[in-house]
Amino acid sequence: MKLELGYIKISDIQLSNESKVENGVLYVNPEDIINLIKEDENIATVAVDVARPGESVRITPVKDVIEPRVKVEGPGSIFPGVIGKVNRVGEGRTHVLKGAAVVTTGRIVGFQEGIIDMSGEGAKYTPFSQTMNLVVTCEPVDGLRPHEHEKAIRFAGLKTAVFLGELGRNVEPDEVETFETLNVKEGIEKYPNLPRVAYVQMLQSQGLMHDTYVYGVDAKRTLSTIIMPTEVMDGAILSGNCVSSCDKNTTYHHLNNPVIADLFKAHGKTLNFAGMIITNENVYLADKERSSDWAAKLCQYLGVDGAIVSQEGFGNPDTDLIMNAKKIETVGVKTVIITDEYAGRDGKSQSLADADPLANAVVTGGNANMVIHLPKMDKVIGHINFVDTIAGGFDGSLHEDGTIEAELQIITGATNELGFNKLSAR
Amino acid sequence: MGKIKVVHYVNQFFAGIGGEEKADQTPFKQDGTMPIGAQIEKAMQAINADVEIVGTVVCGDSYFNENLETAKAAVLDMIKSYEPDLFIAGPAFNAGRYGVACGTITTEVQEVLGIPVLTGMYKENPGADMYKNKVYVVPTKDSAAGARDAIKKMAPLAVKLATGAEIEASCVDNYMPNGIRKNFFETKRGSERAVEMMIKKLAGKEFVTEFPMPDFDRVDPNPAVKDMAHARVALVTSGGVVPKGNPDHIESSSASKYGEYSIAEFDDLTSETHETAHGGYDPVYCNQDSDRVLPVDVMREFEKAGRIGKLHEYFYTTTGNGTAVLNAVAFAKEFSQKLVAAGVDAVVLTST
């Protein structure tokens, strides 16, 4: 299966009276976005802002971050089974508005969270301080129940991203990159001497604000299965979660999964990227046992030599992570796991909620309990008054002068467990 | 800050007195440096010119270890006499008794004189495991042939310590991991590091895990309660159930406190009276009916039916989400005492 990604480099976003992409600038007519989102009767108000790298802007609470993409050749469309029809994606050609992102915010759903600072100390930790962000603030109608509220905001972001992606359909990309996954037999024949490596992606599926969707299916109702890495690039996996946002994968992360990218880079040189397995992180023990059994079984069936396992979240999913590592090692497949740590503000506590000697190769995205100090920002998009109660915040986190003292876990994507960042810990 | 005054500690060998046969050398001090100290001083001065090793304290390895208390006191007095800003011992390489002496005396100086200290030794030196979590220990090669490399690592850390600069992660500032996890920025992103680690692991080459698996503190369950019908049972939860409004502002993640609340008045928790403060799971169902996490209703039924003696008046609660284990241990140590003092026989501990 072969997919070309055409990158249209976006250097700025401008609000305008016409939505278009021209000379690397994404022009957006706010009315287009407002009308689109208000098709959903559950959304009462919509506001559109732009946040650029280096500006004194804070976005909070962040629901999702999404990269605009459009399918220009091949079957299916972006976000299959959700926005697009359920047809299989991952082949042909897709255009990407590289450097642009849609960020959704609005009133809280339970503990909805995440901060993106476009400058200052916080900007160092979130990758979305480096993207041109079209920020959509959505407020629900009164009385909307939490699950419907979450869905409404999730769809608002996805629809906006698809609308913007469509503007790049007929634009000539600045750069084209090709990704191809051979079938098992072809791969072995082509690279007989290279070690075969699978990628096992664990998907957050603990419930409201901790959900992931695959072709529109709630991941907690799935069995571990095989997916093509190029399907992921077309939006086959998307985020419904944002709680403890430091180590949750936004939809942007899924579309740009760095493990997939770096395995493709090594593919044909030092290893053979043999395939990708997705497995969930449900809260019930029986589900954990079943899903990790199946992840190990699929690794064994593919006959790979190694598997890179990425976690999403912490605490409860640490048990899924260790089960996966242990069981995959036990069937004779070597593992490297990617996680992050909750070692306490002083760094002295044990970092994971579970451990096993077989998990002897660990990459860490850093200690999320580390305390950081964020300066006041001139402009806040969203609602600043949730800072004390969101994960990473505590009573008194938000100071009167607009500065914030909180744990790193308050920052969207700060300790990402796909290995998206350079932050680590020792 | 004026000149940084440093005192250095070496054994009989590095003082040029002799080898094993002179290991019973009693402690003495000498102004200025011994040869290896001069190299350390020079390396520190290359980073910060205003550093001087003002004195060297010498003690034989056998004497120190066989006369621990007297040697420790004598050496400490000699160090103190120079009023140093920083104390360095060794490096001891793989000399076991020297390593233990370096660890012992640096720990003592840090505790008693309250100044920064530094030592260095080979990772398999018994002093390393004994002291690496107490003082900064720079890993060195296993013999004095590695002196140049050791000094290259020790000098910058020594200057940082002396000037009060922030000490970064162990792999950045070159000390042995000391149980304190510190964040830093790698040069490559995590996914790339994972792929590289995988290639090494598959090739059977040496790789370094970024997080060595810890030894877990496993708690054996107590023996079963024989007479439940007369037992006082308490409810404890890490599921974040709190009285509506979360009066003590228990955090949604990384709790710094626990709550103690009376349930004497309740036969049933409702959305009017209780909710969860926990940010780590879907709160909708607990907010509708907190008995789902803290089963007061069922316990009352058991109480009425005589299946338990009494439901304890207070429940203890915190948020398990992202909460440091050391915090959780501290909470439990405290409220366990209260439970014991109140004559509680058994606890139903619910998690989420």
| Nearest chain B CA: its distance from A289 CA (Å) | 17
In this structure, the answer to whether residues B168 and B232 fall within a common structural domain is no
Of A326, A267, A277, which Cα lies nearest the Cα of A299?
A277
Contact yes or no for A315 and B321 at CB 8 A: yes
User: Distance (Å) from the C-alpha of residue B131 to the closest C-alpha of chain A?
Assistant: 16
A146, A265, A349 member nearest B284 (Cβ): A146
Give the domain-ending residue among B152, B173, B194.
B173
With both helix axes pointing from N to C terminus, report the angle between B96-112 and B68-81 in degrees, rounded to the nearest 10: 60
* pLDDT higher than threshold 90 for residue A395: no
Distance of alpha carbon A156 from alpha carbon A143, whole angstroms: 18
Please report, rounded to a whole number, the percentage of residues in chain A having pLDDT higher than 90.
89
Q: Judge whether B190 lies within some domain.
A: no
Nearest CA in chain B to A205: B281
The answer as to whether B336 is a domain residue is yes
Are B169 and B286 part of one and the same domain? no
The nearest alpha carbon in chain B to A147 belongs to B284
Q: Do B190 and A416 touch (CB under 8 A)?
A: yes
Residues in chain B with CB shorter than 8 Å from the CB of A390 are 252, 279
Q: Is the pLDDT of residue A211 over 70?
A: yes
Q: Which amino acid is at B27?
A: P
CB-CB under 8 Å, A208 with B189? no
Residue A123, helix vs strand vs coil = helix
Q: What is the pLDDT of residues A132-158, one digit of tens each?
A: 999 999 999 999 988 899 999 999 999
Residue A422: is its pLDDT beyond 80? yes
Same domain, B46 and B130: yes
- Cβ of B195 and A308 within 8 Å? yes
**What local confidence, expressed as pLDDT, does residue B321 receive?**
85
Alpha-carbon distance of A262 to A238, in angstroms, equals 20
Contact residues, chain A, for B201 at CB < 8 Å: 306, 334, 336, 361
Task: Name the residue of chain B whose CA is nearest to A266's CA.
Answer: B195
| Residue A110 exposure: Cα atoms within 13 Å on the Cβ side | 31
Q: Given B138, B155, B173, which residue is the final one in a domain? A: B173
Q: Give the pLDDT score at A110.
A: 66
Closest C-alpha to A68, from A107, A95, A90: A95
Start-to-end CA span in chain A (Å): 39
Answer whether residue B194 is part of any domain: no
Nearest CB to B190 within list A146, A370, A421: A421
DSSP bridge pairs for A60: A382
Quick one: which H or E segment has residue B197? Answer: helix B190-202
Examine the domain organization and report whether B158 and B17 are in the same domain: yes
Q: What's the gap in Å between the CA of A169 and the closest CA on chain B?
A: 30
Report residue B324's pLDDT band, with 50, 70 and 90 as the boundaries.
confident
Which one of A197, A310, A425 has the shortest CB-CB distance to B182? A425
The whole-angstrom distance between residue A303's C-alpha and the CA centroid of its chain comes to 28
All residues at 6 or more sequence positions from A316 whose CB lies less than 8 Å from its CB, including other chains = A206, A281, A283, A353, B280, B281
Pairing of strands A12-15, A25-28: parallel
CA distance A136 to chain B (A): 24
DSSP string, A235-282: TSEEE---TTGGGSPPHHHHHT-HHHHHHHHHBTTTBEEEEEEEEEE-
Chain B residues touching residue A147 (CB < 8 angstroms)? 284
Looking at the fold, whether B166 and B236 belong to one and the same domain comes out as no
- Indicate whether A390 pLDDT > 80: no
Pair (B14, B142) in one structural domain: yes
Q: What would the pLDDT profile of B213-227 be if each residue is shown by its tens digit?
A: 887 777 888 899 999
Angstrom CA distances, B195 to A214, A264, B51, stand at 25, 10, 44
**Does residue A109 have a pLDDT over 80?**
no
CA distance B24 to A32: 87
- Between CA A200 and CA A264 the distance in angstroms is 14
User: Which residue among A243, A336, A351 sits closest to B279, beta carbon to beta carbon?
Assistant: A243
Q: Are residues B167 and B285 in the same domain?
A: no
Specify whether A246 is catalytic.
no
Cα dihedral across residues A111, A116, A120, A122: positive or negative? positive
- Chain B residues near residue A346 by CB distance under 8 angstroms: 180, 324, 326
Q: Which residues of chain B neighbour A391 with C-beta distances below 8 Å?
A: 251-254, 279-280, 321-322
pLDDT exceeds 90 at position A397: no
Report the pLDDT value the prediction gives residue B290, as an integer from 0 to 100.
97
Average pLDDT over residues B229-246: 96
How much is the pLDDT for A111? 63
> Which amino acid would we find at residue A75?
P
Q: Which helix (H) or strand (E) is A197 found in, with range?
A: strand A196-204
* Same-domain pairing of B16 and B100: yes
Q: How many CB atoms lie within 10 A of CB A204?
A: 29
Q: What is the CATH number of the domain that holds B78?
A: 3.40.50.2300
B255-308 pLDDT, tens per residue?
Answer: 999 999 999 999 999 999 999 999 888 889 999 999 999 999 999 999 999 999
What is the extent of the structural domain holding B328?
228-350
Residue A108 has pLDDT above 80, yes or no: no
Task: Choose among A334, A369, A393: nearest Cβ to B201.
Answer: A334
Q: What is the pLDDT of residue A140?
A: 94
Q: Could you give the dihedral angle defined by the CA atoms of residues A148, A151, A152 and A157, in that order, rounded to the nearest 10 degrees?
A: 170
Choosing among A363, A372, A409, which should be mutated to test the B contact, i.e. which has the most B CBs within 10 A? A363
CB contacts of A361 in chain B (<8 Å) are 197-198, 201, 207, 209
- Contact criterion met (CB < 8 Å) for B184 and A369: no
Q: CB distance A418–B191 less than 8 Å?
A: yes
B19 shares its domain with B137: yes
Query: Tokens 């976690």 correspond to what residue?
Result: A311
Strand B314-317 relative to strand B232-237, pairing: parallel
Q: B209 to chain A nearest CA, in Å?
A: 5
Residues of chain A in contact with residue B282, where contact means CB-CB under 8 angstroms, are 110, 206-210
Nearest to B211 among A110, A341, A419 (CB): A341
Q: Is the peptide bond before B91 cis (omega within 30 degrees of 0)?
A: yes
Strands (E), A282-425: 306-310, 334-341, 362-367, 371-374, 379-382, 404-407, 423-425
Q: What is the ipTM of this complex?
A: 0.97
- Contact between B61 and B101 under an 8 Å Cβ cutoff? The reply is yes
- Is residue B111 in some structural domain? yes
Chain A residues close to B213, C-beta within 8 Å: 355-357, 359-360, 362
Write out the H or E segment, with its range, that includes residue A213: strand A212-214
Q: Do A262 and B194 touch (CB under 8 A)?
A: yes
B86 and B235 housed in the same domain:
no
Q: Which two tokens stand for residue A171?
A: 């634009």
| Residue B265 domain flag | yes
Amino acid B278 reads H
Catalytic residue among A138, A242, A246, A299: A242
- Whether residues A393 and B184 touch (CB distance < 8 A) is answered with no
**Rounded mean pLDDT of B75-86?**
97
Are B169 and B245 contained in the same domain? no
Domain end, chosen from B173, B188, B216, is at: B173
Residues sharing a CB contact under 8 Å with residue B47, sequence separation 6 or more, in sequence order: B155, B156, B159
Closest-CA distance of chain A to residue B56, Å: 33
Comparing CB atoms, the residue among B207, B256, B326 nearest residue A349 is B326
Evaluate if residue A242 carries a pLDDT over 80: no
Considering the domain architecture, whether residues B36 and B128 belong to the same structural domain is answered as yes
Q: Sort out which chain B residues have CB atoms less than 8 A from A262's CB and list them.
A: 189, 191-192, 194-195
What DSSP string describes A39-60?
TSTTEEEEEEEEE-TTSSEEEE
Confidence of residue A386 (pLDDT cuts 50, 70, 90): confident
Q: Identify the residue whose tokens are 């010498």.
A: B58
User: How far from B134 is each of A120, B116, B270, CA to CA, in Å?
Assistant: 35, 12, 50
Minimum distance, in Å, between the CA of residue A307 and any CA atom of chain B: 8
Q: What is the mean pLDDT of residues A352-373?
A: 95
> Which of the 8 DSSP states describes residue A393?
B
For chain B, how many structural domains are there in total? 2
Evaluate whether residue B219 is within a structural domain: no
Strands (E), chain B: 4-10, 28-31, 51-58, 86-89, 117-122, 136-140, 183-185, 232-237, 241-243, 259-262, 274-276, 310-311, 314-317, 346-350
pLDDT, greater one: B2 or B242: B242
Query: What pLDDT, on the 0 to 100 scale, is given for residue A3?
Result: 98
Q: Is residue B201 part of a domain?
A: no
Pairing of strands B51-58, B4-10: parallel
Nearest to B209 among A262, A360, A407 (CB): A360
Q: What is the pLDDT of residue A285?
A: 95
Which chain B residues touch A315 with a CB distance below 8 Å?
280, 320-322
Residue B244 lies in a domain: yes
Return the DSSP state at B144: G
Q: Note whether B194 contacts A416, CB cutoff 8 Å.
A: no
Tell me what pLDDT residue B39 has: 97
